[in-house]
């Protein structure tokens, strides 16, 4: 992959290495298996795996499955597949947060014994009551804070044994009820939940909170740098508190260390698994891999290459404050790559018929065309030419606007790689639509220049009507209409901003015969049109990855 440019995380680590020269940099990527990975996760992957690689260290893959709700092995498998697709690998360091439940429990008991945790009896409602939770000027209050150690230990064990209903008790860390940081006001570190866990089954009915479990997981795996997104910044004092108060041998003092970086935000793109899951469950999209989805499997099915996504992430950089990246930058990365590598093919979105009246009936001749003018090794292919052809509707104007040099009455135009033709007459259907355009061809010059030196300005693409195949094209636009997803008004839902034109289905398109055996996922440039790939799910469908031209900066 492209290396991430020097960034503030590297500066931190350089300093840590100066103080601890023997340290082996160790990071982790901790997805919650409650959905498929999206392009935002790709940024975290680049930061986690990229940083480890830069320092010759290791990066673990850990399923953060401590919260039993909505987790599923389907997601675990998909997450692994997507990470491998991007080219990252965790070797034998694949873990589940839930594998540490036993240790989490023991460490919680130790905290109780050290008078650093207690069983609290405030209900969820009381928790939110200013009388108990306090506010900026008043400390929080818990009448249970001084519960004797023995009593807390006993209650905690009975919580584990399933003796109490959900919400009856919680285990809270005893930190500082007056802290200006609300995360530190004796946070709940365990709660009762009667939900089956995807791996642990019904073994547990108490589950550790993220803020308690995560630093323990990191410490147990001897992670040195726990890289996460900015929203965890205010949780960092709690991360450090847990790390420093549970004793896990083998780590340097003060490690693991949490460093936060800004999330990737992209225009017109909602990067939230919860929202993406809603789209799947309500059928707004055709699954997690719908080509409009910003999921990695969606981008892959759309035709994005892993390298173009990694290039995009490396171009956007790693920063300490939030920003919004234009989605056209992602499209530009794909174009830059495929312009060099994608074979050229011809497809006609809205075919209209052209008849070369001066060309013999039944004759086929072949014109050799380049597969990729940017790649000498791509070779050529032969395009059949016949009396009846198709051109695209947009390349013809009955009433041409000024400077229209494509097909027009009495005008000459070059058929790409083949003859110069002249439009002589237009044949109409009863409803006034164009039935066929009748042309003559300058058969003398073949695909060369006119002998009399006259200039023909326009060049258009074409297909033989006898040889072209049918195809359906899927043209995509942004999935949502909200330029900045964080501008969503509170009283609205993201589903209120679905773009009704996010998918345009073009039936009756024509493609050149060579495309009939394209492999699913194989990318092409359809000349003068866009980058496409054959859809992996629907026979005869080509997905437009991006249009050929960019409107960026206009
Ligand atoms: P979502 O809000 O989409 O559910 P999440 O943060 O809850 O995302 P996790 O599975 O917990 O999803 O994420 C795993 C890692 O990916 C976390 O470290 C998280 O910070 C990071 N991550 C998630 N979204 C982004 C993003 N848009 N940019 C950068 N990193 C991200
Ligand atoms: Mg999360």
* Domains with residue ranges and CATH for the chain: 8-261 (3.40.50.620), 273-343+472-547 (1.10.1160.10), 347-461 (2.40.240.10)
Percent share of the chain, pLDDT over 90: 92
Q: Residues 390, 435: contact at Cβ < 8 Å?
A: no
Expressed in angstroms and rounded, the spacing between residue 511 Cα and the centre of ligand 2 is: 44
Task: Return the ligand 1 atom nearest residue 48 CA.
Answer: 18
From the CA of 33, give the closest atom in ligand 1: 10
69 contacts: CB under 8 Å, gap ≥ 6: 34, 193, 195
Q: Which residues are within 5 Å of ligand 2 (an ion), measured at CB? A: 32
Number of CB atoms found within 10 A of residue 492's CB: 10
Kindly report whether the global pTM for this prediction surpasses the value 0.85. yes
Find the mean pLDDT for residues 283-295.
97
Q: Could you tell me if 483 and 268 are in contact, meaning their C-beta atoms sit under 8 angstroms apart?
A: yes
Mean pLDDT of the chain: 95
Give the model's pLDDT for residue 454.
87
Kindly give the distance from the C-alpha atom of residue 41 to the centroid of ligand 1, in angstroms, as a whole number.
5
Does the structure show a pLDDT above 50 at 145? yes
User: Which of 39, 40, 82 best tests ligand 1's pocket when mutated (most atoms within 8 Å of CB)?
Assistant: 40
- Given the residues 172, 191, 273, 335, select the one marked as catalytic: 273
Contact indicator for 366, 381 with CB cutoff of 8 Å: no
Range with the lowest mean pLDDT among 137-151, 164-178, 321-335, 449-463? 449-463
> No. of H helices and E strands in the chain?
13, 27
Helix (H, G, I), strand (E, B) or coil at 134: coil
Output the CA 214–ligand 2 centroid distance in Å: 11
Per-residue confidence band for 452, with pLDDT thresholds at 50, 70 and 90: confident
Task: Respond yes or no: is residue 6 known to be catalytic.
Answer: no
Average pLDDT (465-486) is 97
The residue from 93, 168, 193, 263 that is catalytic is 263
Q: How far apart are CA 371 and CA 169, in angstroms?
A: 69
Cβ–ligand 1 distance for 229 under 6 Å, the answer: yes
Q: Which of 85-94, 235-244, 338-347, 443-452 has the lowest mean pLDDT?
A: 443-452
pLDDT for 450 equals 84
- Nearest protein CA to atom 4 of ligand 1, as residue: 273
Known catalytic membership, residue 70: no
Binning pLDDT at 50, 70 and 90, where does residue 551 land? low
Instruction: Give mean pLDDT, residues 330-346.
Output: 97
Residues 6+ apart with CB under 8 A from 440: 356, 357, 358, 421, 422, 424
Report the percent of the chain where pLDDT is more than 70. 99
Residue 280 has pLDDT above 50, yes or no: yes
What pLDDT shows up at residue 428?
96
Centre of ligand 1 from the C-alpha of residue 40, in Å: 7
Cα 62 from Cα 33, distance rounded (Å): 10
pLDDT at 553 (0 to 100): 52
In this structure, the residue with its CA closest to atom 20 of ligand 1 is: 229
45 lines ligand 1 (CB under 6 A): no
pLDDT of 464 reads 98
Give, using CA atoms, the residue closest to atom 16 of ligand 1.
Answer: 41
HSE, CB side, 13 Å, CA atoms: give it for residue 410: 2
Do residues 148 and 115 make contact, with C-beta atoms less than 8 angstroms apart? no
CA gap 156, 292 in Å, rounded:
47
**Going by CA atoms, what residue is nearest to atom 2 of ligand 1?**
272
> How confident is the model over 14-23, as a mean pLDDT?
96
How far is residue 334's CA from residue 240's CA, in Å, rounded to a whole number?
Answer: 41
- 422 counts as catalytic: no
Q: With a cut of 50, say whether residue 554 has pLDDT above it.
A: no
């Amino acid at each position: 992959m492209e290396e991430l440019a020097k960034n503030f995380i590297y500066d931190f680590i350089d300093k840590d290495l100066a103080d601890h020269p023997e340290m082996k940099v160790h990071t982790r990527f901790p997805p919650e298996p409650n959905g498929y990975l999206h392009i935002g996760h790709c940024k975290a992957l680049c930061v986690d795996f990229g940083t480890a690689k830069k320092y010759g260290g290791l990066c673990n893959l850990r399923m953060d499955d401590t919260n039993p709700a909505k987790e599923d092995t389907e997601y675990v498998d998909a997450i692994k597949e997507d990470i491998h697709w991007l080219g990252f690998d965790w070797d034998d360091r694949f873990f589940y947060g839930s594998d540490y439940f036993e240790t989490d429990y023991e460490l919680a008991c130790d905290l109780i014994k050290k008078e650093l945790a207690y069983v609290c009896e405030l209900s969820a409602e009381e928790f939110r009551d200013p009388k108990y939770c306090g506010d900026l000027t008043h400390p929080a209050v818990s009448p249970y804070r001084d519960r004797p150690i023995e009593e807390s230990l006993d209650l905690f064990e009975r919580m584990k044994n399933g003796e109490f209903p959900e919400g009856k008790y919680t285990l809270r860390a005893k930190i500082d009820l007056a802290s200006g940081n609300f995360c530190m006001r004796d946070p709940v570190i365990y709660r009762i939940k009667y939900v089956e866990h995807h791996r642990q089954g019904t073994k547990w009915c108490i589950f550790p909170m993220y803020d308690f479990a995560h630093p323990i997981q990191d410490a147990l795996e001897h992670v040195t740098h726990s890289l996460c997104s900015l929203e965890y910044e205010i949780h960092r004092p709690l991360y450090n508190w847990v790390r420093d108060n549970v004793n896990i041998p083998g780590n340097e003092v003060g490690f693991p260390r949490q460093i936060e970086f800004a999330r990737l935000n992209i225009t017109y793109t909602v990067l939230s698994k919860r929202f993406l899951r809603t789209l799947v469950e309500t059928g707004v999209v055709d699954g997690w891999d719908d080509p409009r989805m910003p999921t990695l499997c969606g981008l892959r099915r759309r035709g994005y290459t892993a390298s173009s996504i990694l290039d995009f992430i490396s171009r956007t950089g790693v920063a300490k404050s939030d920003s919004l990246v234009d989605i056209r930058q992602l499209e530009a990365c794909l174009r830059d790559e495929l312009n060099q590598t994608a074979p050229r093919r011809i497809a006609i979105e809205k075919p209209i018929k052209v008849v070369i009246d001066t060309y013999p009936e039944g004759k086929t001749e072949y014109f050799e065309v380049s597969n990729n003018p940017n790649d000498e090794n791509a070779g050529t292919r032969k395009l059949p030419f016949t009396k009846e052809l198709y051109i695209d509707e947009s390349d013809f104007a009955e009433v041409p606007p000024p400077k229209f040099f494509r097909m027009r009455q009495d005008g000459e135009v070059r058929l790409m790689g083949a003859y110069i033709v002249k439009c002589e007459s237009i044949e109409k259907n009863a409803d006034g639509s164009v039935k066929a355009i009748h042309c003559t061809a300058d058969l003398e010059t073949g695909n060369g220049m006119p002998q009399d030196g006259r200039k023909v300005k326009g060049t258009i693409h074409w297909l033989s009507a006898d040889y072209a195949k049918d195809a359906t094209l899927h043209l995509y636009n942004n999935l949502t209409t909200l330029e900045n997803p964080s501008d969503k008004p509170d009283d609205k839902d993201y589903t209120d901003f679905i773009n009704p034109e996010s998918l345009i289905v073009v039936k009756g398109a024509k493609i050149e015969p060579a495309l009939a055996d394209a492999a699913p996922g194989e990318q092409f440039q359809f000349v003068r049109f866009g980058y496409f790939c054959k859809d992996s799910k629907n026979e005869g469908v080509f997905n437009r990855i991006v249009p050929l031209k960019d409107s960026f900066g206009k």
